A and B are shown apart, each in its own frame.
Chain A
């Protein structure tokens, strides 16, 4: 089949959606399909630009390319699912979250003016139309599916994407807690730094880059974490696998996250995951004292949890192995079978 995978492009940014969609295209090709990625740059501010930029997708004609029909379009993240196609299947990464659960929070985008309130409602209408016309609707996590149902009444099948290919291994349970994430406020890396400030024996390694990096580095300096908090930046696949392999546990606690590949990657390295009760999607696989530790979003609690794992490495290993059993079930074979069914 000729299949197009769509995703928005945020120039100079790289994250889970990019990893997932690149891999999807590669896996489709391995299975004999002609697959291509379609991206359009996306800027969501100021004002109504979020709508006009989203609308660009609507003008694309992907029914056929160069005289040959396109059989299926797999759309992923807002606004790429605005695309038109008679066989549009949406594997929803997330909606435009500022218009939904992030509205009226620090991470929101819209103020109380009548224009901004109406703009937010237009985004809801856009979703109802664009997602409502999909012939099949999947969501990368139950959290994303639940949000979709709550906000649009549309039902999506939970279909988790497998994590990226790495040389996953476990080389023991070292002394540091690893964070793997894009550095922006919603990922809540500052909570980990605050925990390290409370426990002078806690070491953290922060892999990833992003707009919040400078603030986080300043926070680490202000808390006197020099030497105990290492900002590794964007690391290579080999370095990442090495960090996963050697760490004690992996910290992953964004606010109401959609899904997150990181817990799966941690599990494939047999590492427990440290998360918080309000993390959303990760809680679908991180179970307290079974595959990791789940604490309230509080630095002291987090510090205590990290300390407990350091003192109970056998349990940490048991949690990690239990997580691996879950992660092993999530395969591209199954995902593609469902997507193309």
Chain B
């Protein structure tokens, strides 16, 4: 199979670019892959299938969606919520009507009215204030001949959205751990949190919980790594909680090498999220590879992590208390950390193994390319045999046959 591969690639600073940099060489062991130049509107000549990586960032993915509209293909849906992408490809191109139409198509008249409010600047941009309520996934789904998603949660979301094409759940591949010297930022237990510092990463909740943990465990340290979102007043929060002078180590944006050093040096990796856009966390995957116990929010993909590798904190009125208990357990119990870390490493090696993920991609692409023909051949033969003995499509027996075919994934 000659595959046209559409994706952002490094040096673009996106999770999907990192993802493709990891996946592409493994995929090339199985398939003849042509990486499509950024901005190209068409798949290169001679390719017989196309794979489009689509996420919520319009800067990284708008050109890919443009190409996909010309030639539908298999989409790797990195985010279920693509409202920001839609805004970039409509309002960002001075196509307000496109935005209105997209909102109306997916959310009816109410959607159109809200879109007018956004265009008139009467309400806050929905892709910032309420994206999870208006995911606009059909903007992408309508051009997908098949979907690759990273979690069962997103699988359910696309089915609930009415997508009927084939969907394959392929885990995020794990990076091989580079040979780095772990950076131990403190002598006591270190809780690490990596990524953009903002409210949706539950940083306010994490800081409150950590302040409680420090009361009984003053040697514990929180390492916060990543740029602070504009408008998120971290310093004031730290001051209020008494974390401004001690207990917290802060680094801003770091490069990949430094990230691995810092991640390798922590005892626990905290990766909270709400709302989720249906994404998988590259940071969480790196933590698994490093064999670090995880503390995550009990949402989306994170909920699917096995209990022996991750403590899951529901996003509810008891979130801070539950988070405090989880952090205390891991700060105080070396044995629990060791067990969870071993389970995390096993998970990375087994479920997220790069070779396995590449094989799952090949399986999905092969099914996408020839699956419909196979299904047609099977249904033709079965229906002919049924008709030969007088079973017509309306008969109960035909329903029985259809059910049995669906059970073994031979039906439509």
Contacts and interface: CB of A to CB of B under 8 A. Distances in A.
Interface of A: 47-49, 51-52, 55, 58-59, 82, 84, 113-122, 124-126, 129-130
Nearest to A127: B408
Interface stretch (B38-46, B214-222, B361-369): B361-369
B374 A48 contact: yes
B371 interface: yes
B374 A55 contact: no
Contacts of B369: 114, 117-118
Contacts of B377: 47-48, 51, 115
Given A114-B373, A118-B371, A121-B371, A58 B407 contact: yes
Nearest to B382: A52
A51 B370 contact: no
Given A58-B404, A59-B401, A126-B409, A114 B378 contact: no
Given A52-B378, A118-B371, A59 B404 contact: yes
B407 A117 contact: no
A59 B404 CA distance: 7
Contacts of A113: 370
Nearest to B364: A121
A125 B411 CA distance: 12
B378 A48 contact: yes
A113 B377 CA distance: 15
Contacts, number: 74
B24 interface: no
B374 A122 contact: yes
A55 B409 CA distance: 11
Interface in B386-412: 400-401, 404-405, 407-410
Nearest to A129: B408
Nearest to A79: B408
Given A47-B377, A48-B378, A126 B408 contact: yes
Interface of B: 1, 48, 363, 366-367, 369-371, 373-374, 377-378, 381-382, 385, 400-401, 404-405, 407-410
Contact of B409 (A116, A120, A129): A129
B404 A119 contact: no
B1 A114 contact: yes
Nearest to A59: B404
Given A49-B381, A51-B374, A121 B404 contact: no
Nearest to B377: A48
A84 B366 CA distance: 28
Contacts of B385: 52
Given A47-B377, A59-B404, A124 B363 contact: yes
Q: Determine the main DSSP class of B at the interface with A.
A: helix
Q: Determine the main DSSP class of A at the interface with B.
A: helix
B404 A55 contact: yes
Most buried by B among A59, A117, A124, A129: A117
A160 to B, nearest CB: 27
Most buried by A among B1, B48, B378, B401: B378
B410 A55 contact: yes
Given A52-B381, A55-B404, A117 B1 contact: yes
A112 to B, nearest CB: 8
A130 B408 contact: yes
Given A114-B366, A117-B1, A118-B366, A125 B409 contact: yes
A124 B377 CA distance: 17
Nearest to A60: B404
Nearest to A112: B1
B11 to A, nearest CB: 35
A113 B381 CA distance: 20
A115 B374 contact: yes
A98 to B, nearest CB: 15
A256 B257 CA distance: 44
A7 B405 CA distance: 21
Nearest to A124: B363
A47 B377 CA distance: 9
Nearest to A133: B407
A124 B366 CA distance: 12
A113 B371 CA distance: 11
Contact of B408 (A55, A114, A120, A121): A55
A20 to B, nearest CB: 25
Contact of B371 (A82, A84, A122): A122
A281 B366 CA distance: 30
A114 B405 contact: no
B373 A55 contact: no
A118 B405 CA distance: 17
A118 B364 CA distance: 9
A217 to B, nearest CB: 38
19 contacts: A48-B377, A55-B378, A55-B382, A55-B404, A58-B407, A58-B408, A114-B369, A114-B373, A115-B373, A115-B374, A116-B370, A117-B366, A118-B370, A118-B374, A119-B370, A119-B374, A121-B371, A122-B367, A126-B408
